[in-house]
Amino acid sequence: MSGPAGTGPADRALLGWGIAGCGWVARDHALPGLLAAGQRVVALHDRSTAAMARMPLGAARHGDVDAFLATPGLDAVYVATPNAAHRELVESAAAAGKAVLCEKPLAADEADAEAMVKACAEAGVLLGTAYDQRWHPAHAALRGLLPQLGTVTAIRIVYCCWLPGDWSPDGFDHDNWRVDPARAGGGAAIDLAPHGLDLAGTLLGEDVVELTALLQRRVHGYSVDDGALLAGRTASGVLVDLHVAYNTPDQLPRRRLEVVGTRGLAVATDTMGQTAGGSLVLHTVEDGSAPVAVPFGAESPFARQFAAFSAAVRSQEPWPYDAQRDLRLHRLLLDALRGRNP
């Protein structure tokens, strides 16, 4: 894995995008990101006409997938349906020869994820996973701090929120599929841990290859986990631990990423999420415990993600994250959640 591709005007590539699944993340984060990246959105698809109507732009709206995929000028599809509904759309888009950027987790289970990766490989279309946090400017800055940390020994992640059974991210009447094991594939762990696992690999340049998990159902009373601790190790021996949860009130500090080494500690606070912002500080052995604030840009992670993916589709930049690698990480997580890893 290499670092994020450049996203300046010189390497901007223009695609015609379609959005399949017009809910919270598509409307509030992906669409603004696409527009900020200078992309054209030519078509929308959702099984809910109300969801499509809430998308604030003048693109074609199709409840029918084939009509959506036949939209003139459509080059790439962003898939943002509930996890178990990714496969059908990714396979259809691949069969139509469209590049696909699919939301995380790749799928609700392993078989769907494998089929999606296979379908895109066979069709010769680029498949990316929409791990937006790898594009956060603070995380790019954090990568640059690694040489000052000495030998990196561990990454410690807290990524938690409050998600009751009747949760709605945007005040609309929501079908909370996140607590339905069939549609989500699990609870807090499958929803939130993929970001941290991806980030660890992105930051270190090597992925977690061993992973164990402890799941919790403690607060909300639904049938999926509302909290989890995961412990992993990379091939070279960096330890990665994650606390992810749906049972931490949003009013509490709940988003933190620490990279610790033999000479320093980098701490990113409130950077894990959908938007730019948060803070990054560096503690070094030389400076004692006094943290030094590290500056970073304000560009939307979604905008950077769409710019980089579009440049990759236009072959201006390589897409640095192989779909097989994302599939390996997905399998590793699912194995850990099933308790198959020691």
Ligand X SMILES: NC(=O)c1ccc[n+]([C@@H]2O[C@H](COP(=O)([O-])OP(=O)(O)OC[C@H]3O[C@@H](n4cnc5c(N)ncnc54)[C@H](O)[C@@H]3O)[C@@H](O)[C@H]2O)c1
Query: Binding residues for ligand X, per CB under 6 A?
Result: 21-26, 46-48, 51, 80-83, 85, 103-104, 130, 132, 169, 177, 191, 274
Nearer to ligand X, 133 or 310 (CB): 133
Q: How far apart are CA 12 and CA 21, in angstroms?
A: 25
Nearer to ligand X, 85 or 215 (CB): 85
In the complex, the smallest distance separating the C-beta of residue 235 from ligand X, rounded to whole angstroms, is: 26
82 near 183, Cβ under 8 Å? yes
In the complex, the smallest distance separating the C-beta of residue 222 from ligand X, rounded to whole angstroms, is: 16
In the complex, the smallest distance separating the C-beta of residue 223 from ligand X, rounded to whole angstroms, is: 18
In the complex, the smallest distance separating the C-beta of residue 300 from ligand X, rounded to whole angstroms, is: 12
Nearer to ligand X, 149 or 333 (CB): 333
Burial of 290 (0-12, 13-18, 19+ CB in 10 A): exposed
Cβ-proximal residue to ligand X, closest one: 23
Residue 294, CA atoms < 13 Å, CB-side half-sphere: 23
Q: How far apart are CA 314 and CA 321, in angstroms?
A: 16
Per-position DSSP letters for 13-67, written without gaps between them: ---EEEEE--SHHIIIIIHHHHHHTT-EEEEEE-S-HHHHHTS-S--EEESSHHH
Q: How far apart are CA 113 and CA 102, in angstroms?
A: 11
Nearer to ligand X, 103 or 317 (CB): 103
Nearer to ligand X, 3 or 169 (CB): 169
In the complex, the smallest distance separating the C-beta of residue 17 from ligand X, rounded to whole angstroms, is: 15
